[in-house]
Amino acid sequence: DAGVIQSPRHEVTEMGQEVTLRCKPISGHDYLFWYRQTMMRGLELLIYFNNNVPIDDSGMPEDRFSAKMPNASFSTLKIQPSEPRDSAVYFCASRKTHAGDSSGELFFGEGSRLTVL
Amino acid sequence: AQSVSQHNHHVILSEAASLELGCNYSYGGTVNLFWYVQYPGQHLQLLLKYFSGDPLVKGIKGFEAEFIKSKFSFNLRKPSVQWSDTAEYFCAVINLSGNTPLVFGKGTRLSVIA
């Protein structure tokens, strides 16, 4: 299994530009999560989807952030316009609905390191 | 709401020292418990997990954790740390009453010095 795949791995952009981060979850996983990690705030849950439907986006910091999941194998996190305080590592993770021994276990992607100048 | 507390923000140990990282959670119902590790510059990886049965769980690289239900705790231990254990460690809990997200603690940074 290829695992959770994220792109790009690194992104450097200027303030005001649009940023799009991409995620391909593990095949068969019906939950997808977007997290942000910074030194100051640690690991924060931004939004999560179940069967492609957003379930809870209360962690999305503001309207500049949006996320979509058009199908079971692809999700995007968009920041428009980007600001320097958005600089962080963004992780995507996926899992299956509670079932057997894998109940609740999250599988993380390698992350996308975003730097906004 | 569910919460997870990790008591130590940063722990510094010499090689071969014993390790114990504290983790307490607030939810009183049935939960599954996890420890994840994040090596420098990498993503989070599962270290070990508890679902049911023996409350002493053994994971990879010589780590173990003990679930003490009466104390709502799931502390991580290793008898003798190595320099390669330098990483950040996250405790996480999921409530089994619904398909809700994993709740993570704020993490404990472990630095192992030679």
State pLDDT tens for residues B61-111. Answer: 999 999 999 999 999 999 999 999 999 999 999 887 766 788 899 999 999
| Mean pLDDT, range A4-19, rounded to an integer | 97
| Mean pLDDT, range A90-111, rounded to an integer | 84
CB contact (8 A) between residue A104 and residue B34: yes
CB contact (8 A) between residue A106 and residue B45: no
A104 vs B38, higher pLDDT: B38
CB contact (8 A) between residue B32 and residue A110: no
Task: Compare all CA atoms of chain A with the CA of B105 and give the residue at the minimum distance.
Answer: A43
Token code pair at residue B11: 């722990």
Question: Which residues in chain A have Cβ-Cβ distances shorter than 8 Å to B35?
Answer: none
Q: Is A43 on the interface with B (CB under 8 A)?
A: yes
Q: Identify the band that residue A104 occupies on the pLDDT scale cut at 50, 70 and 90.
A: confident
Report how far residue A21's alpha carbon sits from residue B107's, in angstroms, rounded to the nearest whole number: 25
Summarised one tens digit per residue, pLDDT across range B12-41 is 999 999 999 999 999 877 889 999 999 999
Give the per-residue pLDDT at A100: 58
| Mean pLDDT, range A76-87, rounded to an integer | 97
Contact B59, B65 (CB under 8 A): yes
Report how far residue B15's alpha carbon sits from residue B91's, in angstroms, rounded to the nearest whole number: 23
